[in-house]
């Protein structure tokens, strides 16, 4: 197991490599680049991504997205061909497409390891309207570390709470479809969604799991059966332990538990 200081150094080197890719392609067109997510809220965990948001003035030039993706593939995640590292999630938005605010917001590019095979196979990244981007922008505005350019609060408008809710509900079906094979992430993300809807805050996944476990026994609108609530709490304990690296969270024999938990947590999210 690497020492904490060794892991921190590796993270810094990887982050520099990601910034080199962005700087090489976008240069002085970058309005702001920030690091958000776990790195800015509670600290990186063993399996945390490096989450970056890049704001540019207008839409990317033809070919920019492909060059950025080609630069990230060798340095992102366990399948990186240079040095394996953390999964990188990098999102690019054009300022004139999100200010003034509109829903759904439009993203110019999103790179993530779940898209690796698609991009490595030659798929061309494209701009799309993305309800989930409302959550990403709200989270980044709430906590981030500025890496390049202007302060994010001086660049972007606040995301209305109503649009955060719309983004969560719009993202829910696709998240549930990904449950099998990605149980930990899906269950913890559902817990985070619930926290955000109830409190307006974006918290780390382990914190969200702890918050949700405490409330699963409470009756209220959207609550399911006592057995379903207990299953959801048990599944979140397993997922949280895996996220923190305290125990291996193997789901092969827990498929029914994960499905019951996801359904219960989705009820809580929907209200």
Q: Catalytic amino acids?
A: 89
Quick one: which of 249, 232, 250, 259 has its CA closest to 177?
259
> Where are the strands (E) in 121-166, listed by range?
128-129, 145-149
Contacts of the segment 226-235: beta carbons below 8 A, 24+ positions apart:
228/260, 228/261, 228/263, 228/264, 229/264, 231/257, 231/260, 231/261, 231/264, 232/260, 232/261, 232/264, 232/265, 234/261, 235/183, 235/187, 235/260, 235/261
d(CA 175, CA 187): 9
- Looking at residue 45, the DSSP 8-state letter turns out to be -
Q: Is the peptide bond before 100 cis (omega within 30 degrees of 0)?
A: yes
CA 259 to chain centroid: 21
């Amino acid at each position: 197991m690497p020492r904490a200081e060794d892991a921190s150094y590796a993270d810094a080197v990887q982050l520099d490599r990601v910034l080199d890719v962005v700087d090489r392609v976008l240069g002085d067109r970058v309005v702001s680049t920030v690091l958000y997510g776990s790195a800015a809220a509670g600290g990186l965990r063993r399996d945390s991504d490096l989450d970056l948001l890049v704001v540019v003035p207008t839409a990317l030039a033809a070919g920019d997205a492909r060059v950025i993706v080609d630069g990230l593939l060798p340095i992102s995640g366990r399948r990186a061909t240079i040095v394996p590292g953390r999964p990188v999630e990098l999102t690019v938005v054009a300022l004139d497409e999100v200010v003034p605010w509109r829903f759904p917001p439009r993203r110019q590019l999103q790179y993530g390891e779940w898209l690796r095979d698609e991009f490595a196979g030659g798929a061309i990244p494209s701009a799309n309207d993305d309800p989930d981007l409302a959550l990403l922008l709200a989270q980044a505005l709430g906590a981030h570390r500025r890496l390049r350019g202007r302060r994010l609060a001086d660049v972007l408008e606040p995301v209305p709470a109503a649009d955060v809710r719309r983004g969560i509900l719009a993202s829910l079906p696709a998240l549930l479809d990904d449950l099998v094979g990605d149980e930990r992430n899906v269950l913890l993300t559902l817990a985070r969604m619930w926290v955000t809807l109830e409190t307006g805050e974006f918290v780390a996944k382990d914190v969200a799991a702890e918050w949700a476990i405490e409330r699963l026994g409470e009756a209220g609108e959207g609550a399911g059966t006592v057995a379903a609530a207990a299953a959801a709490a048990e599944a979140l304990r397993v997922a949280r332990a895996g996220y923190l690296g305290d125990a291996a969270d193997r789901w092969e024999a827990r498929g029914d538990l994960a499905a019951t938990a996801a359904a219960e947590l989705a009820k809580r999210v929907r209200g």
